[in-house]
Chain A
């Protein structure tokens, strides 16, 4: 069972489940076995099997063997009390040795950890997608909660990216989508599907060819682009797309200071935007703190901005909104960016 399949196997059949209920109940009731408990349970299973085997041998009349089996079981029981010793002592054991079960249990525990890391990361990615979908809906109906939803989105993405691997790549791709899309939310754009409209509003630089979707919007533009559609599709495309060449700057410039037509547009848009300017500011800051930087050209308006998310193929580390490092294996422009080439 490879790691990529494992999270799916652990998911229920979602076609008949209500997603809101699913998330709520999983968040409240989902549990993970801690490592000590798993070790104890696996050892008990092994010990019970050994005991049963030895009992069968004993019943066949091998009394000497039975006595030895009992002694070895007692030794195992004493040793398991200090599990570190037991694990170390079991290292060189072979099948038939009294501590061989400990060795196999240790291997299964490592498997539990590997499985769990993937499951945790997958759950966090699912939560991030859910928060992002909520943020987009809230932008229309309840703008005052958008910034907190975006904060939660980035937090979940941090957790999803923590262990690397395939899930981290998907999370990174989603981060780029969110970073770009959240700028639109901040500007109060309601029409996320009108890529040409968005471009028209932003100005010529927005539609210049080659600017990668999530990557740094062109000069003076705020991350516009195609409204994040199905996150999964975007993530996959973003993850699969090759990093675009370094080009224009990527981060949304501070609206007030930019002089390009797009910036002007931005400023104008801001005036029309969400009346809750604090949220807008917070969003902008969060965004700039996220890996929405592009080719490393520093135009990050906010503090804690990360060097970049490697849109341009440069392996860079990105900082999350909390300023923590999040190494990104690959930059992946999301197709969400509308660049109509």
Chain B
């Protein structure tokens, strides 16, 4: 379990200390997941704050222990990100603009990004975009969010079997896309050297 049953009880009782403890344990994973969804770090951080405030205010409605709270948080984050993307699209439609131009993409490398070549990051993100929405969601929740298959199924309101199938197809699709991309890059005169 990510945190104890006692902390889970505190969350259900609206105790800010308990919510803070859950924050300490899960904030990094939630932020990674949100950033993968909305790409803009400032927006992801705001959504993270909003998600934990919701937990403080609505924790008493959660039935279950630590695992249920973890699922609840990722579901809340998932829908907060969805709402944000819808707002961006609506704003873009109103302004007749490209939705992506309204996002400020986080290009500043954090300590993690410095460890990963920018080109690798760009290729992986481009490949992920080519997967279906469902496949991408499952991969992000499983690998970035750290959820199990049943937990992911709860967040996305799908069956375990559907999640596993989406996961495997997503993994194969991603590997295939990166292989093709690598093959293309390797044959180009400006092949990346590590």
Residue of B nearest to A123 (CB): B112
Q: Is B25 a contact of A108 with CB atoms below 8 Å?
A: no
What's the Cα separation between A30 and B178 when bound, in Å? 19
Give a binary string over A26-53; 1 marks a CB under 8 Å from any B CB, 0 the rest. 1111111110011011101110111010
Q: Is A44 a contact of B49 with CB atoms below 8 Å?
A: yes
What's the Cα separation between A50 and B29 when bound, in Å? 27
Chain B interface residue count, CB cutoff 8 Å, equals 57
Residue of A nearest to B167 (CB): A16
Known contacts being A32-B111, A42-B20, is A48 close to B146, with CB within 8 Å? no
Q: Indicate whether A17 reaches chain B with its CB closer than 8 angstroms.
A: yes
Q: Indicate whether A18 reaches chain B with its CB closer than 8 angstroms.
A: yes
- Most chain B beta-carbon neighbours within 10 Å: one of A45, A111, A119: A45
List residues 109-137 of chain B with CB under 8 A from any CB of chain A: 110-112, 115-116, 120-121, 124-125
Q: Is B115 a contact of A49 with CB atoms below 8 Å?
A: no
* Contact with B3, one of A1, A33, A38 (Cβ below 8 angstroms): A1
Q: Indicate whether B40 reaches chain A with its CB closer than 8 angstroms.
A: no
User: Which residues of B lie under 8 Å from residue A26 when comparing CB positions?
Assistant: 143-144
Q: Indicate whether A92 reaches chain B with its CB closer than 8 angstroms.
A: no
Q: Indicate whether B53 reaches chain A with its CB closer than 8 angstroms.
A: yes
User: Which residues of A lie under 8 Å from residue B167 when comparing CB positions?
Assistant: 16
User: Which residues of B lie under 8 Å from residue A34 when comparing CB positions?
Assistant: 110
Chain A interface residue count, CB cutoff 8 Å, equals 47
What's the Cα separation between A9 and B24 when bound, in Å? 12
Q: In the complex, what's the smallest C-beta–C-beta distance from B186 to chain A, in angstroms?
A: 13
User: Which residues of B lie under 8 Å from residue A29 when comparing CB positions?
Assistant: 32-33, 35-36, 140, 143-144
User: Which residues of A lie under 8 Å from residue B139 when comparing CB positions?
Assistant: 21, 25
Q: Indicate whether A62 reaches chain B with its CB closer than 8 angstroms.
A: no
Residue of B nearest to A33 (CB): B27
List residues 87-114 of chain A with CB under 8 A from any CB of chain B: 101, 104-105, 108, 111-112
Q: Indicate whether B65 reaches chain A with its CB closer than 8 angstroms.
A: no
User: Which residues of B lie under 8 Å from residue A24 when comparing CB positions?
Assistant: 120, 124, 178
User: Which residues of B lie under 8 Å from residue A31 when comparing CB positions?
Assistant: 28, 31-32, 35, 41, 44, 110, 112
Q: Indicate whether A60 reaches chain B with its CB closer than 8 angstroms.
A: no
Q: Is A1 a contact of B175 with CB atoms below 8 Å?
A: no
Q: Indicate whether B98 reaches chain A with its CB closer than 8 angstroms.
A: no
What's the Cα separation between A264 and B149 when bound, in Å? 56
Q: Is A104 a contact of B24 with CB atoms below 8 Å?
A: no
Q: Indicate whether A70 reaches chain B with its CB closer than 8 angstroms.
A: no
Main secondary structure of the interface of A (DSSP, over half): helix
User: Which residues of B lie under 8 Å from residue A10 when comparing CB positions?
Assistant: 2, 25, 28-29, 146
Q: Is A108 a contact of B142 with CB atoms below 8 Å?
A: no
Give a binary string over B139-153; 1 marks a CB under 8 Å from any A CB, 0 the rest. 110111111110000
Q: Is B144 a contact of A25 with CB atoms below 8 Å?
A: yes
Q: In the complex, what's the smallest C-beta–C-beta distance from B86 to chain A, in angstroms?
A: 22
Q: Indicate whether A230 reaches chain B with its CB closer than 8 angstroms.
A: no
Q: Indicate whether B89 reaches chain A with its CB closer than 8 angstroms.
A: no
Residue of A nearest to B3 (CB): A1
* Contact with A108, one of B1, B24, B28, B44 (Cβ below 8 angstroms): B24
User: Which residues of B lie under 8 Å from residue A13 when comparing CB positions?
Assistant: 148-149
Q: Indicate whether A80 reaches chain B with its CB closer than 8 angstroms.
A: no
Q: Is B35 a contact of A12 with CB atoms below 8 Å?
A: no
Q: Is A16 a contact of B31 with CB atoms below 8 Å?
A: no
Residue of B nearest to A107 (CB): B20
Q: Is A28 a contact of B23 with CB atoms below 8 Å?
A: no
What's the Cα separation between A33 and B29 when bound, in Å? 9
Q: Indicate whether B171 reaches chain A with its CB closer than 8 angstroms.
A: yes
User: Which residues of A lie under 8 Å from residue B23 when comparing CB positions?
Assistant: 38, 41-42, 45, 108
Q: Indicate whether B107 reaches chain A with its CB closer than 8 angstroms.
A: no
Give a binary string over B76-91; 1 marks a CB under 8 Å from any A CB, 0 the rest. 0000000000000000
What's the Cα separation between A145 and B186 when bound, in Å? 15
Residue of A nearest to B112 (CB): A30
User: Which residues of A lie under 8 Å from residue B45 when comparing CB positions?
Assistant: 33, 37, 41
User: Which residues of A lie under 8 Å from residue B21 when comparing CB positions?
Assistant: 108
What's the Cα separation between A32 and B115 when bound, in Å? 13
- The chain B residues found within 8 Å of chain A, CB to CB, are 1-4, 14-17, 19-21, 23-25, 27-29, 31-33, 35-36, 41, 44-45, 48-49, 52-53, 56-57, 110-112, 115-116, 120-121, 124-125, 139-140, 142-149, 164, 167, 171, 174-175, 178, 194
Show 19 residue pairs from A and B whose CB-CB distance is below 8 angstroms, ordered by the A residue: A9-B2, A16-B142, A16-B148, A17-B142, A20-B175, A21-B175, A24-B120, A26-B144, A29-B33, A30-B112, A31-B28, A31-B31, A33-B28, A38-B27, A45-B52, A46-B20, A101-B16, A108-B21, A115-B24
- The chain A residues found within 8 Å of chain B, CB to CB, are 1, 6, 9-13, 16-18, 20-22, 24-34, 37-38, 40-42, 44-46, 48-50, 52, 101, 104-105, 108, 111-112, 115-116, 119, 145, 148
What are the nearest 7 A-B pairs in CB distance? A49-B16, A12-B146, A25-B143, A31-B32, A29-B144, A28-B124, A29-B36
